Amino acid sequence: MIEIRDLHCYYGAIEALRGINMKIEDGAITCLIGSNGAGKTSTLKSISNVVCRTGGIIYDGVDLSHLRDIQIARQGVIHVPEGRGVFPGLTVEENLLTGTVNWHGLFGKGRYDQDLAEVYELFPRLQERRNQLAWSLSGGEQQMLAIGRGLMGRPKVMMLDEPSMGLAPLVVAELFEKIVEINRERGITILLVEQNAKLALKVSNYAYVLEQGCILLEGPAEELRYDPRVVSAYMGTGAH
For 100-117, the pLDDT digits (tens) are: 866 655 445 556 788 899
Measure the CA angle with vertex 26, ends 66 and 208; round to 5°: 80
Query: How do residues 188-219 score in pLDDT, each as one tens digit?
Result: 999 999 989 999 999 999 999 999 999 999 99
> How much is the pLDDT for 84?
85
Confidence of residue 136 (pLDDT cuts 50, 70, 90): very high
Residue in 179, 157, 164 with CA at minimum distance from that of residue 58 = 157
Report field, pTM of the whole predicted structure over 0.85: yes
Which helix (H) or strand (E) is 224 found in, with range?
helix 221-224
Q: What is the helix (H) or strand (E) element at residue 218, kind and residue range?
A: strand 214-220
Tell me the backbone φ, ψ of residue 131, rounded to 5 degrees.
Answer: -100, 5
Do residues 139 and 172 lie in contact, with contact meaning Cβ atoms separated by under 8 Å?
Answer: no
Residue 237's pLDDT band (cuts 50, 70, 90) = very low
Please, are residues 225 and 198 in contact by the beta-carbon 8 Å criterion? yes
Burial class (CB in 10 A: 0-12, 13-18, 19+), 26: exposed
Indicate the length of the chain as a whole number: 240
Tell me the β-bridge partners of 14.
Answer: 11
- What is the bridge-based pairing of β-strands 52-59 and 62-63? antiparallel
Evaluate the CA torsion angle 59, 63, 65, 66 in order and state its sign: negative
Amino acid residing at 121: E
Of the chain, the percentage scoring pLDDT greater than 70 comes to 93
DSSP codes of every residue in 74-92: HTTEEEE-TT----TTSBH
Domains and CATH numbers, the chain: 1-76+155-167+188-240 (3.40.50.300), 85-154 (no CATH)
The CA-atom distances, in angstroms, between 212 and each of 22, 39, 52, 54, 163 are: 16, 7, 17, 17, 22
Report the sign of the C-alpha dihedral through residues 58, 12, 70, 159, in that order. Answer: positive
